[in-house]
Structure 1
């Protein structure tokens, strides 16, 4: 039996969470190594395993992969979540990258000073309503999945991003019927449904303790 992938990251969502989602969607069990002190992180850096001296890192198939996009592409290709040809793959990439752009606004929120958070919350809402969600809503017209006739990495990325934005704006999808239907359908896929249940490796929304811990680890 092949060894489980090992995920190296801080004990929270950050850039690793979407990778957790993708592995869970593929039905792949994984282990995690959390770095919660500066000393632990410095020790990892000294191994030379982090190509660009930053996490996330995923050990899989004898490799130590870094860079979120590269990690996800490998996982999607390995577990048949990357389309059937190059044309489908490039659309999966485009939709996944669009979701990642919106998700960056969510992730940045937690690291902003309090005086800037309301502005970021409003920016998140504006971009979701006027730039990103209309694209996905149109793409899903008459379709179950974003690309082709098959569940893919793009669907995983979109669902995770929707749920993340909804944590700030509960009714954000009220005028996007296709996205509402998509959210319901994808959430019922057995592997996704399992990951959404309590007790799964899914991480909670970032809080002040997580932010402070990350800053203490990374800052000189």
Structure 2
């Protein structure tokens, strides 16, 4: 092995995208093996690589890690993106929990039946505008710092930027009423490792298309 983390997932966003984001933010190069057929997926199952018969799976530091949250927490801790103490970690976990809830709604969107997609999109935008983004706007206002936790760049900042951009892909002016979040987006996007990840040609994946959806359905048989 090259020593680089190796990611096993579909050639698309899904739950692996946040892992790509966090590794990229930490400046860590990684490799990917795309699961494109049912045969590949079954081979991973047979060799016991997927502990709970689920992806994502990441090979890192001699381990085969599954469960997205566990993978992200390990990476955040390994690369000093997980706060300075237990209290800061608790805040990071809490803030990431909120962005994950919103992100999960967006991840499900391409798999929703076409006749229900508009309703689902309205739910995403309603919750972004009325439940989630107001919280982060208030945190930034009350905290008075550049970052969400402890005036230090962390996993929480990476995850929030990721979900902001995901929502903006659905509604370009969603931050109109959130000036601090808009400033946050601009500021965090200029961090060199993140700026590089946002450039064309990086390992960031595009908005899911029908090919991606069909591959996932075929491999997972649903």
Q: TM-score range by the shorter chain?
A: over 0.9
2:10 is aligned with 1:10: yes
1:112 CA drift (Å): 0.6
CA RMSD of aligned residues (A): 1.1
Q: Distance in 1 between matches of 2:36 and 2:2?
A: 28
Residues 60-104 of structure 1 show CA distances to partners (whole Å, capped at 9, x for unaligned) of 000000000000000000000000000000000000110000001
Show the counterpart of 1:114: 114
Q: Distance in 2 between matches of 1:63 and 1:37?
A: 24
Structure 1 residues 1-220: aligned runs within 5 Å: 3-141=3-141, 142-219=144-221
Indicate how the Cα distance of structure 1 residues 209 and 2 shifts in structure 2: closer, same or farther if over 3 A, else same. closer
Q: Distance in 2 between matches of 1:204 and 1:139?
A: 30
Q: Distance in 2 between matches of 1:2 and 1:182?
A: 35
1:167 CA drift (Å): 0.3
Residues 127-173 of structure 1 show CA distances to partners (whole Å, capped at 9, x for unaligned) of 00000000000001122000001000000000000000110011000
Indicate how the Cα distance of structure 1 residues 49 and 159 shifts in structure 2: closer, same or farther if over 3 A, else same. same
Residues 163-211 of structure 1 show CA distances to partners (whole Å, capped at 9, x for unaligned) of 0011001100000011000000000000000000000000000011100
Residues 1-49 of structure 1 show CA distances to partners (whole Å, capped at 9, x for unaligned) of 9700000001100000000000000000000010101111111111111
Indicate how the Cα distance of structure 1 residues 41 and 2 shifts in structure 2: closer, same or farther if over 3 A, else same. closer
TM score, norm. by length of structure 2: 0.97
Residue aligned with 1:167, SS: helix
Residue aligned with 1:54, SS: coil
Q: Distance in 1 between matches of 2:110 and 2:135?
A: 26
Residue aligned with 1:83, SS: coil
1:212 CA drift (Å): 0.7
Q: Distance in 2 between matches of 1:42 and 1:89?
A: 36
Q: Runs of at least 4 residues of structure 1 off by over 2 A?
A: none
TM score, norm. by length of structure 1: 0.98
